[in-house]
Amino acid sequence: MAETKYGDCFVTIPFAKGSKGPLFSVNSKVMNGFNAQVIYACAYETGITGKSVKPHTHDFDEAIFFIGTDPHSFDELGAEVEMSMGEEEEKHVFNVPTVIVVPKGMPHCPIVTRKIDKPYVCFVVSLTDQTR
């Protein structure tokens, strides 16, 4: 979109369609050098949510957001989600919109959708331009 003075500021989000719904992942290469990575997915069913099936760490901080999709009830997640944190894989369960702040080096995941009444959005903001 560079045909105008500010056209480079507008980037089309590259969605990929998978078996579990739409997904995108953008980093500095897609966002004109903006030093962050954003991953977006939508959960429609129970089970592992996202690509991480076991705990892992990063050398950067990240925040993982869980948000309901009902525009009339943003205070409802519509699901029960479990997330493991730390070396001991301490399990945390929540059913309201939540952001999990993961400091660099902290083991985390998997994310497991235990119960779902409505689809919800899960997205990650990482303070890195690394591709995952």
Q: How far is CA 23 from CA 7, 49, 77, in A?
A: 24, 12, 19
Q: Enumerate the domain spans of the chain.
A: 7-126
Which residues, including other chains, have CB under 8 Å from residue 70's CB and lie 6 or more apart?
76, 78, 118
* Interval 96-109 mean pLDDT: 95
Burial of 120 (0-12, 13-18, 19+ CB in 10 A): buried
| Listed ranges 36-40, 91-95, 128-132; the one with the highest mean pLDDT | 91-95
Confidence of residue 93 (pLDDT cuts 50, 70, 90): very high
Least confident among 41-55, 93-107, 110-124? 41-55
Residue 67 in contact with residue 75, Cβ under 8 Å?
no
Closest CA to 41 of 27, 59, 23, 67: 23
pLDDT score at 130 = 67
Amino acid, single-letter form, for residue 118:
K
pLDDT in tens, 8-61: 878 777 777 665 555 778 888 888 888 888 888 888 899 988 778 899 999 999
- Confirm or reject CATH 1.10.8.60 for domain 7-126, answering yes or no: no
pLDDT of residue 30: 81
Gyration radius of the chain's alpha carbons: 16
What is the structure's pLDDT at 132? 54
Max Cα-Cα span within the chain: 53
Residue-averaged pLDDT of the chain: 87
Q: What is the mean pLDDT of residues 84-95?
A: 95
